[in-house]
């Protein structure tokens, strides 16, 4: 790929890093952040970049323009290059799934600030976040059934871990459109806010000010797909490593000295 083509693709999904927060922004406002092949590739690439960076302690994901994302660009369905994107390019996931599942598996917390619409692919990307903050005008839906399709971006694996099984089935089988308050009641949305991006940034600032070792360990533990006995063992292993860490010693020293801690990435 030429550097010019890569730069063009990276402009589709912007990444700004400041004070430990990586702000990812879907940047196709003229298409309401609809996902075509380039948009999928750009977001997956940004997720891979974040996974390899130690200076990012929390991620905030938002969308430029009038919507978080209206979902799949219908031109994608006729794109003959799509079969080339289906192999398992990211561990267990293909490039589509990486755009949602990759957020879930990032080593740091991800907060989505969604407004306008989060349909189909956009809805599944939103589900990949650890915390979802919605604007009061948000409408969201798993739209795939309307096009004779099933969710295929990790949406099923993610949704069934977020809401009750019957709620997940209703959302998927009917393709129902949910307003922000209904989505919050269902458990799809964590908070509804007048300014979701401001709330997300404020929350991210608090997370970024905490020990990055403890935050990463907590996310690893929360993402374990094991029985309780295995998780208990892993909790003890993580805690032993944290107790021996410089950031733990700094947290204790700062608490005793009544000063803000200074953590190292």
Instruction: pLDDT band for 79, please (50, 70, 90 cuts).
Output: low
Taking only the tens place, the pLDDT of each residue in 178-235 is 999 999 999 999 999 999 999 999 999 999 999 999 999 999 999 998 899 999 999 9
Instruction: pLDDT band for 74, please (50, 70, 90 cuts).
Output: confident
Looking at the predicted structure, is the pLDDT value of residue 82 above 60? Answer: no
Looking at the predicted structure, is the pLDDT value of residue 80 above 80? Answer: no
* Res 172: pLDDT: 97
- Both tokens of 21, joined, read 């927060």
Backbone region of residue 208 per phi and psi (left: phi > 0; alpha: psi in -120 to 50; beta: other values): alpha
Name all domains of the chain by residue range, CATH numbers in brackets: 3-208 (3.90.226.10), 212-257 (1.10.12)
Average pLDDT over residues 120-148: 96
Phi, psi of 113 (to 5 degrees): -110, 105
- Mean of per-residue pLDDT scores for the chain: 93
Looking at the predicted structure, is the pLDDT value of residue 6 above 90? Answer: no
* Res 91: pLDDT: 82
- Both tokens of 191, joined, read 């908070």
> Rounded to whole angstroms, how far apart are CA atoms 156 and 100?
11
- Give the containing element (helix H, strand E) for 255: helix 246-257
* Res 97: pLDDT: 94
> Which of 69-78, 79-88, 105-114 has maximum average pLDDT?
105-114
**DSSP assignments along 235-252, one per residue:** HHHHHHHHHTSHHHHHHH
| C-beta separation of 166 from 159 below 8 A | no
Give the chain's end-to-end CA distance (angstroms, integer).
32
Of 82-91, 117-126, 200-209, 226-235, where does mean pLDDT reach its minimum?
82-91
188 vs 10, which has greater pLDDT? 188
Average pLDDT over residues 61-85: 80
* Res 85: pLDDT: 52
Of 71-80, 103-112, 244-253, where does mean pLDDT reach its minimum?
71-80
> Rounded to whole angstroms, how far apart are CA atoms 149 and 70?
16
Average pLDDT over residues 104-117: 98
* Res 127: pLDDT: 98
> Rounded to whole angstroms, how far apart are CA atoms 197 and 195?
6
SS3 179: strand
- Both tokens of 175, joined, read 């393709």
* Res 179: pLDDT: 98
pTM here? 0.92
Looking at the predicted structure, is the pLDDT value of residue 84 above 60? Answer: no
């Amino acid at each position: 790929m030429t550097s010019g083509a890569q730069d063009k693709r990276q402009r589709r999904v912007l990444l700004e890093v400041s004070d430990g927060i990586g702000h990812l922004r879907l940047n196709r406002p003229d298409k309401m952040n609809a996902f075509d092949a380039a948009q999928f590739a750009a977001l997956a690439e940004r997720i891979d970049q974040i996974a390899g960076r130690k200076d990012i302690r929390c991620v905030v994901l938002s969308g430029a323009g009038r919507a978080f994302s209206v979902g799949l660009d219908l031109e994608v369905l006729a794109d003959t290059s799509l079969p080339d994107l289906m192999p398992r390019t990211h561990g267990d996931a293909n490039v589509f799934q990486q755009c949602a599942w990759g957020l879930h598996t990032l080593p740091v917390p991800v907060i989505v600030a969604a407004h306008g619409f989060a349909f189909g692919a956009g809805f599944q990307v939103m589900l990949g976040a650890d915390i979802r903050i919605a604007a009061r005008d948000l409408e969201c839906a798993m739209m795939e059934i309307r096009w004779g399709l099933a969710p295929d971006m990790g949406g099923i694996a993610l949704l069934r871990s977020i809401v009750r099984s019957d709620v997940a089935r209703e959302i998927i089988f009917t393709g129902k459109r949910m307003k922000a308050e209904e989505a919050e009641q269902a458990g799809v949305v964590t908070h509804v806010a007048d300014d979701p991006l401001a709330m997300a940034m404020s929350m991210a600032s608090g997370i970024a000010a905490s020990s990055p070792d403890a935050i990463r360990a907590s996310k690893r533990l929360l993402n374990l797909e094991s029985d309780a006995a295995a998780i208990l063992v892993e909790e003890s292993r993580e805690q032993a490593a944290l107790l021996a860490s410089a950031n733990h010693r700094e947290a204790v020293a700062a608490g005793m000295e009544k000063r803000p801690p200074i953590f190292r990435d």
